[in-house]
Amino acid sequence: MPLLQTHALTRRFPGVLALDHVDFAAEAGEVHAVCGANGAGKSTLMNLLSGTITPTSGTISVNGETVSFVSPADARDAGIAIVYQEFSSIPELTVADNIFLGREFCGRFGAIDRRAASRAAADLLGRYGISLRPDALVGSLGVADRQLVEFARALATDARILILDEPTAVLSISEQAKLFGVIRTLRERGLLVLYISHRLEEVFEIADRVSVMRDGALVATREKSALTSSELVRLMTGRDVAANTAPALLVEGRRTALKLEGISENGVPLELREGEILGLAGLVGAGRTSIAHRIAGLRPRDGFSAALFGAALPDDPARVLAAGVVYMTEDRKRDGIFAPLAVTSNATAASLDRFALGSFLRLRRERAQAGEVLRGLRLVAASLDTPIGSLSGGNQQKVLFARALLARPKVLICDEPTRGADVGAKEEIYAVLRRLAAEGVAIILISSELNEVLALSHRIAVVRHGRITAVMDNAGLDEHALLVAATGAGSKNAAA
């Protein structure tokens, strides 16, 4: 008997059939991957299973017993916990407080016993090899550590079914390996792990079975051993997706768009030319995002200077944006989207001056231009008036990409631009980046996926401890050589 089963599970939203009579089954003691393109219905299915939303029709069964959830608490009581792609932790609280949020340890007279919570958190973190201090404020942690807090919080519920939504999106290679070790331990203990990821190499590494969704329907469930990567892509997208290779665009003779001094370990200025894609490679915490923030004026540029086409770059975000340097954040929930606002409003947030007429917005023009860009990115949404917070993570990312394009960048800094995007959407984003480069836009690409950096970049700058330690031409590089350089284990260097 399956531990988890759905029958004809359906969910309708106004104008959208998000989930269409899905019959799904998964066993205890397995890692079951759920794959599909953005908007395929994965998030809707997981939200139904976790009690976030209720079905329009159909049933959910746990261990043979039909269950009905009207809240996430009901799902937790039934043994289902979920770790979302976006963070739900509270920055002002400690790691221990977040792990046991809603299930606090109480002492005499009902007071919260934080010492007991800290001890329990330390025990939990140690049991699963998660290196976090229970008393650390979550707001002081990096993105990767905040993801680990979310994971620990789910483990603390004694769940029988654990749903992981893009759990490795911001983790380093060593942290991914640690996470996979935890997942394998949970499987051995008889838990069912539902694993949602757009990184197909992870699916083939960790999953036992794979279910594929497309257009709200479950189209296939296969043993991993019976699948190939190309077949999985075809099931997800309904078409073949071409392999990506490093671009051959020539940039010699083009002007220097951005010049950074004082950021390289060897003291040589780093120059980014028009039409060049420069990848920043490094482990999580190496300082890639810090460099991007300082270029964009989001942090002080202590220790280095930046010039745009020979003129000093302003040092505050608004003037940097006005000068033509556009930054796409890695943390869209906290720093990117305006969740209650419509898709159009989010897409045009960085370019409103183009649609202004005195004190008024030319709404028809705004909508037309936003719609044109979003159609090119193949956004999946009921309409441009849909609140962005209701979209899948990959579609939210497309809207942020549209915002960057509408700002008409001279230099575009993309921090994890395909985070949460499926293989088809990634292909579309890659094509847009290459087109922008061909049009002369200089691009800085930050990505934790080494194959993505290799597929897109003309040159690759290696970052360690907030400094650029090497700049290499992409020709002849592979993931191993890049990882050696990123960890400092080798001495492969090239002049900037």
Decide if 245 is inside a domain: no
Q: Say yes or no: 101 and 215 in one domain.
A: yes
Q: What is the pTM of this model?
A: 0.63
Contacts of 142 (CB under 8 A, 6+ apart): 284, 285
82 and 165 share one domain: yes
Angle at 168 between CA 472 and CA 138, to 5 degrees: 105
In b/e form, how buried is each residue of 96-108, taking b as 16+ CB within 10 angstroms? bbbbbeeeebeee
291 and 231 in a common domain: no
Q: Is residue 89 part of a domain?
A: yes
**In terms of domains, do 398 and 433 share one?**
yes
Residue 442 CA to chain centroid, in angstroms?
23
Please check whether residue 251 lies inside any domain of the structure. no
CATH number reported for the structural domain that contains residue 464 in this entry:
3.40.50.300
- Pair of tokens at residue 193: 């792990």
Alpha carbon dihedral 388, 391, 393, 399, in 10-degree steps, equals -50
Handedness of CA 479, 480, 481, 486 (dihedral sign): positive
**b/e per residue, 33-47, with b = 16+ CB within 10 A?**
bbbbbbbbbbbbbbb
Q: pLDDT tens for residues 62-87? A: 999 999 999 999 999 999 999 887 78
Question: Taking a C-beta distance cutoff of 8 angstroms, is the pair 336, 329 a contact?
Answer: yes
Point out the domain boundary residue: 181, 208, 237.
237
Show which of 207, 237, 267 is a domain's final residue: 237
In degrees to the nearest 10, what's the CA dihedral of 336, 47, 69, 105?
Answer: -50
pLDDT at 43: 86
CA distance 116 to 240: 54
Closest among 371, 409, 392, 453 to 257, alpha carbons compared: 409
Residues 145 and 288 both lie in one domain: no
Q: How many domains is the chain partitioned into structurally? A: 2
Q: Do 221 and 326 lie in a common domain? A: no
Full residue range of the structural domain in which residue 106 is found: 4-237
Question: For residues 496 and 488, what is the distance between their CA atoms, to the nearest angstrom?
Answer: 18
Give CA–CA dist 17/253, Å, rounded: 52
User: Is position 349 within any domain?
Assistant: yes
User: What H or E segment, with its residue span, contains residue 31?
Assistant: strand 31-36
For residue 394, give the 3-state DSSP assignment.
Answer: helix
**Same-domain check for residues 146 and 263:** no
Kindly state whether residues 137 and 284 are assigned to the same domain.
Answer: no
175 and 44 within one domain? yes
Question: Which H or E run includes 61?
Answer: strand 57-62
Measured over all CA atoms, what is the biggest interatomic distance in the chain, rounded to whole angstroms? 75
- The answer to whether residue 244 sits within a structural domain is no
Q: How far apart, in whole angstroms, are the C-alpha atoms of residue 237 and residue 215?
A: 10
CB distance 41 to 19 below 8 Å: yes
> What is the C-alpha to C-alpha distance for residues 432 and 102, in angstroms, rounded to an integer?
44
The last residue of a domain, from among 183, 204, 237:
237
Per the domain annotation, does 242 fall within a domain?
no
Q: What is the rounded distance in angstroms from the CA atom of residue 191 to the CA atom of residue 158?
A: 10
CB 288 within 8 Å of CB 449: no
Residues 362 and 444 placed together within one structural domain of the fold: yes
Q: Are residues 269 and 228 in the same domain?
A: no
Task: Judge contact between 400 and 333, C-beta under 8 A.
Answer: no
- Is residue 495 one of the residues assigned to a domain? no
Residue-by-residue DSSP string for 176-232? HHHHHHHHHHHHHTT-EEEEE-S-HHHHHHH-SEEEEEETTEEEEEEEGGG--HHHH
- Rounded Cα distance between 339 and 400, Å, is 12
Evaluate whether 450 touches 285 at the Cβ level (below 8 Å): no
Per-residue pLDDT of the chain (496 residues; tens, 9 = 90+): 899 999 999 999 887 899 999 999 999 999 999 998 777 889 899 999 999 999 999 999 999 999 999 999 999 999 999 988 778 889 999 999 999 988 888 877 778 888 899 999 999 888 877 888 999 999 998 777 887 898 888 888 888 999 998 888 666 666 778 788 888 988 988 999 999 987 788 899 999 999 999 989 999 999 999 998 888 888 887 766 555 555 555 556 689 999 999 998 888 899 999 999 999 988 767 889 999 999 999 999 888 899 999 999 998 999 999 999 999 988 787 888 898 999 999 999 998 888 888 888 889 899 999 999 998 888 878 889 999 988 877 788 889 989 999 999 999 999 988 877 777 778 888 888 998 998 899 999 998 788 889 889 999 999 988 889 989 888 777 777 776 777 665 543 443 3
Q: Is residue 337 assigned to a domain?
A: yes
Identify whether the C-beta of residue 195 lies closer than 8 Å to the C-beta of residue 206.
yes
| 340 & 419 share domain | yes
Residues recorded for the chain: 496
